[in-house]
Amino acid sequence: MSLITWNENFSVNIMEVDSQHKKLIELINELHEAMKVAKGKDVMGNILSELVNYTVYHFGTEEKLFQKHGYAEYVTHKKQHDDLTKQVVAAADKFNKGGNIITVEVMNFLKNWLQNHILAVDKRYAPFLNSKGVV
């Protein structure tokens, strides 16, 4: 079973963003699966670095939309992105330096990290951007 299952509650009604969120969920599920079946460190290291890169790319997409449309919460939202990026980079560094293991704690951290951000923070921009015609 997947660690996270995408459902309509996650939707921000913006096709590009929803598909990026789905991709992030997929990467976390892949990492979880790799951890469960004890895949090699190369496989897990690759998924983690893809997760880091895709996270940076995704946050950039949202931030460009905020700037383009003058979203009032741009600064606070960007601060959250910067903090989350640091956390996921730290998790990847720890994996690379610390014996190449992914623990259940790390998986739960990633799961909550993504879910909480989408549900509590990303959802806040949806009505605003939708009203600007971003769908």
Binding region for Fe ion (CB under 5 A): 62, 122
By beta carbon distance, the residue nearest Fe ion is 122
* CB 118, CB 10: distance < 8 Å: yes
Q: Which is nearer to Fe ion, 30 or 62 (CB)?
A: 62
* CB 51, CB 28: distance < 8 Å: yes
CA-wise closest residue to 107 among 9, 6, 16, 34: 34
Contacts of 126 (CB under 8 A, 6+ apart): 12, 13, 14
Q: Rounded to the nearest whole angstrom, what is the least distance from the CB of residue 22 to Fe ion in the complex?
A: 11
Q: Which is nearer to Fe ion, 17 or 44 (CB)?
A: 17
Q: Which is nearer to Fe ion, 36 or 64 (CB)?
A: 64
Q: Rounded to the nearest whole angstrom, what is the least distance from the CB of residue 85 to Fe ion in the complex?
A: 11
* CB 101, CB 32: distance < 8 Å: no
Q: Which is nearer to Fe ion, 94 or 111 (CB)?
A: 111
Q: Rounded to the nearest whole angstrom, what is the least distance from the CB of residue 113 to Fe ion in the complex?
A: 11
CA-wise closest residue to 77 among 130, 111, 122, 10: 122
Q: Rounded to the nearest whole angstrom, what is the least distance from the CB of residue 72 to Fe ion in the complex?
A: 15
